[in-house]
Structure 1
Amino acid sequence: MERLHRFIQNKGDNEIPREAMTVLDLILASRPNALFTAINKKTGSSFYKAYNPQFNISGGLNLHQGWKQSVKITYKEVLLNLDVACTAFYRPGPLLDVVAGFFNRGRIQDINPRQLAPGTVEFQRLSKFLSNVNVEITYRDSGRRKYKIRALSKQTPDKAMIVITDTKTKMTVADYFLKEFKIRIQYPFLPLVMCGNDGQILLPMELLIVKEGQRHLGKLSDVQTADVIKIAAVAPPERQGRIMEGRKSLHDAPGGDSLMKAWGVNLQPQMKQIEGRILPQPVVTGSAEVRPQNGAYDLSKVGNVKFFRPAKLEFWSVAVFGDTRNMQFDAVAEFLGRLFTECMNRGMYVSKRDFKDVIVAQQRRGVEETLLEANRKAIEASQKVLPPGSKMPACAQMIFCIFDKGGVTYDEIKLFSETKHNLMTQCFLSKHLPPKGPKPGVTTNLALKVNAKLGGVNMVVDPATQLNVLGAPVPTMVMGADVTHPPAGANGGVSIASLVASMDAKFAEYRAAIRVQGPRIEIIQDLKSMAAEHLNQFQLRARGRYPDRLIFFRDGVSEGQFGEVALQEVQNLKIALREVGAGHCKLTFLVVNKRHAHRFFVADQKDGDRKGNLMAGTVIDTGITHPFEFDFFLNSHQGLQGTSRAAHYHVLYDENKFSSDDLQEITYRMCYLFARASRSVGIVPAVYYAHLVAYRARCYRPGGVGGSSEMGGSSTGGIDSAAIDEFEKVTDEMLKTMFFT
């Protein structure tokens, strides 16, 4: 532990003492491991309470609640970072009940046998869902009783034939269990389960029990995610109480923890108190100045404030996908009328059209054909009203796309419009149509997106008066980068790297670059060429000048990867700057992380917002930060649901030599520039846009990121070159816009 003491006191040892931290992790996890279902991860350990049917969620899963902990080092102290945890587990009990739950049915009898026919989508989904689940047989008490499911068999008990070893005779699985165990199979239409190392052991579902404490590793559906949020998103006082309960449950042993005593480890009973400060909120400017309150401003309540730079919408049409009985013509026209009124109230120009001329129903067309027809209608309708000889564009400025929730319509719209036909689209769901919709704020939010996509600027924070050091007349670019990976449990697949960069002096307009690379490779492999693309775009916009300052925000990097990322990506950025002729540009490189377990609570409720969260603009840069490196936590947004999580910013490289106050203020005030919201957001917009771009890129491979199977790839888990090649590229014209907003 001597190295640990030297490190936290900054006495010459710059390498994090991983061995000492691992020992502390093991000591602090010893007692909880014996009492709870434990899941150990690289970043710490999680401990979950026993199964509770109260927390059943859709799809045959159950949400286990518990706590996660890890050791954290700060200046002159070692801290235990403890937070609540929620994770999806398979429901224990009869496998038949789990299968029924997967289809959201109460009993196995309620499932349509056709859903489980081999080759159906439901069969494949269920087989993937049950893969690697540990089960126990119920038909005998001796011999081997525990098995692991490999997949579902395409055979059923009444059809699958097996050979009896002793007599060499053949019989069906159903007949075998009747003869050997006097068990008549009740559900012969259900597929058999393949178990064993090679999947050669075939077992009927009804004779298996799912063991308790098995975590589900696959991606949760939208419905399941919503179920989790309902249970897990709790107000700060309740979350604080649960953390304190975890402190007692995990570490308060009668007479003290003997292992902790033996190692001289003493854990304080109360949370650590640290100091924070609230940064002043900026003034946001459109056609007039707006002063946010706790990180938010409601455009509908601030008078007739127009966008800073409203766009013009002259050539447009509407495509209705799916069953038009749910999307009646009059409802579509009424909704668009409200949307266009909101756009015009914000200063935009929207050309008038007869809706009968511009609304196109999909009918029997495919998605691509419908988009092309909508584009043709947009040009045709414009020709009717514009003077003869007017210059007509090759494609519409915007096609509004309406569809029901679910399916792959959205993915196909974005694939065809952005990679093949250079069509800007704005999608929204039919649930927003009258008479049930739209809810307050829907048309305002859509107007924000439409204006940004068309090249407008919604609101700005004036650099000269609001962004402190960035107000100086020095050409500055802000970049944001992210890498998204296949979900846990997926073999192979691809990772998607995205890089966005600001193009204007007000940091409101961004451009995107996308690359597809091998699975779970965190380093952006083609960062040099991606950065060069943006630098050259900047030069064209800035009349031949390259930026003198580059602020680079990098998301998705764990603390253990800081050294590798800083070494490779900073070097590649510096090379890109030199190669384009901007070697003079000074670089500041920060890692941004919101996927951490740090939670902050106000010591006095009167210092928080009405829900008990930290106020927007709260910054913490002492007491819990790195012993000697430059990092800080910034709660830049107003908490809307549950307990807010501050973003963690860690400066890995800084040639601009920003002071901590300057960099914190710059970062916070930029959070008001996110084009899709009339409030500050939780992370700097450059990173938020990088998230959106990476997520959008999932649409650019026909069939989705996984092609024919969701997020799948090479079965070996290696780089799938064929999968990478299948991704379509965004058109050059589209890359000159903020198509991702």
Structure 2
Amino acid sequence: MENHSGHGGGGGGGEGGNTQYETIGASSTSEIKFHPEMIIRRYDIDIKLEEPFRPNTNVSKSDALMVANKLFSEYPTLFPSSAIAYDGEKNIHSAVELPTGRFKVTVPKGEDISPHTYTFTIKPVNSPELTRLYEGIQPSILREILQGMDVVSSSDGPRGGEIAQHFGIAVSEKISEEMTEVTTRVLKQPNLKPPEGDGQWNLLNKAGKHIKRWSVLDFSQNPTCKWHKPMVQSFPQYLAQHCNKLGIQMEETPLFYHGSNMNVLSNYNQLYGLLTYVHKRAERRLQILICVMAERHNGYEIIKQICERDIGIKTQCCMSYLANELKDQYLTYLALKISSKVGDSTISLFNRLPHLDDDRHVIFIGADVNHPSGFNTSSPSIASIAASMNWPGVNRYAARICAHPHGTKKIWKLGEMCLELIQAYACKNKIKPGKIIFFLNGVSKSDKVLTEELDDLKKAIKSNGYSPTITLVGVQKPHLMGKRGNIPPGTIIDTTIGFDFYVCTHNNGILCTSEPTHYHVLWDEHGFSSSEMQRLIYNLCYSFSYCTKPVSLVPPVYYACLQGAPLP
């Protein structure tokens, strides 16, 4: 802890049997009562990751809450948790005066990851009294008070407990503590090749391609910044050994190792020359090139463009600070990606997907827009599209990405990127797909999607007699459900008329973490029934190459999301 001033202490109002409350915000479901003499103090919060240092890294809301809770537990007198409400972003509301300044907080990140150190900076903003709700105050101040009350009342859950009492706030008894109960049904697990009984599988004793020709291109050597961590020389050997341990046959020694530095990534001509040299040195027969980077860098996209579109090298990028830890979890993640990229698959479906049993080829496309998080207001948003490249296996994907102005929600050049992927499919399979099933992340019911994205897609691909049928499905990422345990994989929540439902597809061993995903069919030219679409989505979730169990999000969207935020 450093450079802080002020002091903790002071009691909150609203305690005791004779407290007189006023009421505001009454509705048919809830109302908030408050003590008119109470003061809500607001503080501005800024949290930065200090160690390991990663430039341009934003702290997520979940990490921010973890850091705040750690700080409050270390200094309970200065930060009495029962008198503080933190929104997980930039605001703390407090019933007592808090110390200001900068604090260092070290948070353990689990047995596979080293602890992280953060700076937690707190500055006072204002202290609006609740009595000013009765005065002719400016709308901005009124909004400030009401927002503070909302954060406080939500910090204790539906009935408002100890925290709300310190602020002199009470929440109406109209809100039920019980979660909404819904009627569900459970789909049967699909038949897999090879057979697996428990919804999870491993790679052991499964024949696959032998990775004989691989090399390492290390951009983390000769560091130019103090926070860059050079790759440890034992990493390639550990990676190969771990691949073999998982059943992925890989030569334990790469063809060669070449050291470079991060500056090369900023010079297109120099990077192109380096990658061309690597390609020639491997006699143009590399199966995979491992590219090690010291930090996130825009050069990642250039590497992909040069290697996989211009030269013809498959690449797997990784971060040196994660590689250096030599942890099984990260090595397994890399091993599964490498296996997928050289043409292997962890599992495949035994039967064809429902309602797709005619002779026409089918391509599955997923789209997503990834926006910078936290306080980053200048970096571009990244639109990404992923599409399946084989049928009926549906376990190999290609992708395209495009930078957008910050905060842009519509996918620019959607039709153009989809056309490129359809052409890639046709080049690989000698035939264009006759059916397109398109999953668009982040939307549910939206006329704008139908008039813009769908029209853009049709205009781009329908030409020269080519006119595939299209189904468009809106996807909203997983929603937490269940408080006594997990709901089983294959659970369908479908209580409405039409193509609007939740599907729980993943097999998560951690209690109370089941997260069904919301799907809504926006356009359908294939005549799917609701049950057929649900079965198709559930079965697809068993075909994700980077996992050995079904995933929570339909794979075309999952791959698109990974492309929008590809590292580490």
Q: TM-score range by the shorter chain?
A: 0.5 to 0.7
Name the structure 1 match of 2:216: 317
Instruction: Return the offset for 1:660.
Output: 1.6
Residue 644 in 1 paired to residue 514 in 2?
A: yes
Aligned residue identity for 1:524: I
When residues 658 and 85 of structure 1 are mapped into structure 2, their CA distance, relative to the original with a 3 A threshold, is: farther
Aligned residue identity for 1:631: D
Instruction: Return the offset for 1:567.
Output: 2.6
Name the structure 1 match of 2:440: 554
Aligned equivalents of 1:444 and 1:640: distance in 2? 18
Residue 574 in 1 paired to residue 461 in 2?
A: no
Matches within 5 A, 1:106-505: 134=125, 246-249=157-160, 270-285=178-193, 289-293=194-198, 295-300=199-204, 304-307=205-208, 310=209, 312-319=211-218, 321-322=220-221, 327-329=231-233, 331-332=234-235, 334-339=237-242, 341-342=244-245, 345-346=247-248, 348=249, 350=250, 358-362=256-260, 366=264, 376=277, 379-380=280-281, 382=282, 392-393=283-284, 396-402=286-292, 408=295, 410-411=296-297, 414-420=300-306, 422=311, 424-428=314-318, 437-439=326-328, 442-462=330-350, 465-487=351-373, 489-491=375-377, 493-505=379-391
Name the structure 1 match of 2:470: 587
When residues 97 and 657 of structure 1 are mapped into structure 2, their CA distance, relative to the original with a 3 A threshold, is: same
Instruction: Return the offset for 1:477.
Output: 1.2
Name the structure 2 match of 1:565: 449
Of 467, 486, 490, which aligns to 1:613? 486
Aligned equivalents of 1:320 and 1:52: distance in 2? 32
Aligned residue identity for 1:296: Q
Residue 87 in 1 paired to residue 92 in 2?
A: no
Instruction: Return the offset for 1:54.
Output: 4.6
Name the structure 1 match of 2:71: 56
When residues 495 and 57 of structure 1 are mapped into structure 2, their CA distance, relative to the original with a 3 A threshold, is: farther
When residues 550 and 312 of structure 1 are mapped into structure 2, their CA distance, relative to the original with a 3 A threshold, is: same
Instruction: Determine what percentage of the aligned residue pairs are the same residue.
Output: 22
Name the structure 2 match of 1:702: none
Aligned equivalents of 2:302 and 2:72: distance in 1? 35
Aligned equivalents of 2:80 and 2:546: distance in 1? 32
When residues 458 and 550 of structure 1 are mapped into structure 2, their CA distance, relative to the original with a 3 A threshold, is: same
Instruction: Return the offset for 1:551.
Output: 1.1
When residues 543 and 98 of structure 1 are mapped into structure 2, their CA distance, relative to the original with a 3 A threshold, is: same
Aligned residue identity for 1:291: E
Give the secondary-structure state (helix, strand or coil) at the position aligned to 2:412. coil
Aligned equivalents of 1:503 and 1:468: distance in 2? 19
Q: Deviations over 1:122-142 (max 9, x none)?
A: xxx99xx97997257xxxxxx
Aligned residue identity for 2:561: H
Q: Deviations over 1:231-285 (max 9, x none)?
A: xxxxxxxxxxx999733339xx9xxxx9999xxxx76664332221221112332
Aligned equivalents of 1:366 and 1:591: distance in 2? 40
Name the structure 1 match of 2:395: 508
Aligned equivalents of 1:533 and 1:364: distance in 2? 31
When residues 547 and 131 of structure 1 are mapped into structure 2, their CA distance, relative to the original with a 3 A threshold, is: farther
Residue 599 in 1 paired to residue 481 in 2?
A: yes
Unmatched segments (≥5 aa) in structure 2: 1-24, 43-64, 107-117, 128-144, 165-169, 224-228
Residue 653 in 1 paired to residue 515 in 2?
A: no
Unmatched segments (≥5 aa) in structure 1: 1-23, 40-49, 67-83, 106-124, 137-210, 216-241, 383-391, 603-611, 700-740
User: 2:491 touches 2:504 (CA, 8 Å); kept in 1?
Assistant: yes
User: 1:672 touches 1:681 (CA, 8 Å); kept in 2?
Assistant: yes
Aligned residue identity for 1:675: S
Aligned equivalents of 2:232 and 2:529: distance in 1? 58
Aligned residue identity for 1:526: K
Q: Relative to structure 2, which stretch is displaced further, 627-636 or 441-450?
A: 441-450
Aligned residue identity for 2:537: T
Matches within 5 A, 1:56-75: 56=71
When residues 639 and 419 of structure 1 are mapped into structure 2, their CA distance, relative to the original with a 3 A threshold, is: same
Instruction: Return the offset for 1:467.
Output: 2.1
Aligned equivalents of 2:278 and 2:203: distance in 1? 33
User: 2:100 touches 2:121 (CA, 8 Å); kept in 1?
Assistant: no
- Computed over aligned residues only, the root mean square deviation of the Cα atoms, in angstroms, reads 5.1
Give the secondary-structure state (helix, strand or coil) at the position aligned to 1:677. coil
TM-score by length of 2: 0.67
Aligned equivalents of 2:379 and 2:155: distance in 1? 40
Judging by fraction of residues, say which structure has more helix. 1
Q: Deviations over 1:162-210 (max 9, x none)?
A: xxxxxxxxxxxxxxxxxxxxxxxxxxxxxxxxxxxxxxxxxxxxxxxxx
Aligned equivalents of 1:284 and 1:554: distance in 2? 27
Q: Deviations over 1:298-323 (max 9, x none)?
A: 334xxx1234xx37552523527248
Q: Deviations over 1:375-430 (max 9, x none)?
A: 746754x5xxxxxxxxx31x844332446xxx62x426624422445554324456
Instruction: Return the offset for 1:621.
Output: 0.8
Aligned equivalents of 1:442 and 1:488: distance in 2? 25
Instruction: Return the offset for 1:443.
Output: 4.4
Q: Deviations over 1:507-548 (max 9, x none)?
A: 11222122222332322232222222222223333424x322
When residues 91 and 467 of structure 1 are mapped into structure 2, their CA distance, relative to the original with a 3 A threshold, is: same
When residues 684 and 365 of structure 1 are mapped into structure 2, their CA distance, relative to the original with a 3 A threshold, is: closer
Instruction: Return the offset for 1:670.
Output: 0.6
When residues 595 and 494 of structure 1 are mapped into structure 2, their CA distance, relative to the original with a 3 A threshold, is: farther
Aligned equivalents of 1:132 and 1:85: distance in 2? 14
TM-score by length of 1: 0.53
Aligned equivalents of 1:640 and 1:614: distance in 2? 11
Aligned residue identity for 2:235: V
Bigger CA radius of gyration: 1
User: 1:478 touches 1:501 (CA, 8 Å); kept in 2?
Assistant: yes
Aligned residue identity for 1:56: L
Instruction: Return the offset for 1:437.
Output: 3.9
User: 2:369 touches 2:564 (CA, 8 Å); kept in 1?
Assistant: yes
